[in-house]
Amino acid sequence: MYELGDRFGIDRKAVSRILHCHQVPMRRRGLTPEQVDEATHLYGTGWSLARVGQHLGVDGTTVLNKFRERGIPTRDSQGRPPV
């Protein structure tokens, strides 16, 4: 969806709506355990969730959800550690 959005100059959410509207089957792309390990390392070096997600080809929310599944603490939106 990101590639289509870039190609046609629209947001990935618009791509998703158009594909759903036309009943195009889509696969859900998650992260492999190895990618979650890489994401954990990158995040630990100071990368944002958004940057890690972009690096891995997924949304930052996907990374956040995987971290939550594994119990990995995350910083707040200002970069502060959790309290």
**Domain residue extents for the chain:** 30-76
Let me know: does 36 contact 52? Beta carbons within 8 Å.
no
Distance CA 83, CA 78 (A): 13
Distance CA 46, CA 49 (A): 9
Question: Mapping DSSP to helix (H, G, I), strand (E, B) and coil, where does residue 47 land?
Answer: coil
For domain 30-76, the CATH class is mainly alpha
0.75 surpassed by pTM: no
> What's the token pair of residue 64?
């956040």
pLDDT tens track for 13-61:
899 899 999 999 877 678 999 999 999 999 999 999 999 999 998 999 9
Q: Which amino acid is residue 13, in one-letter code?
A: K
Q: Which residues, including other chains, have CB under 8 Å from residue 15's CB and lie 6 or more apart?
A: 1, 4, 5, 8
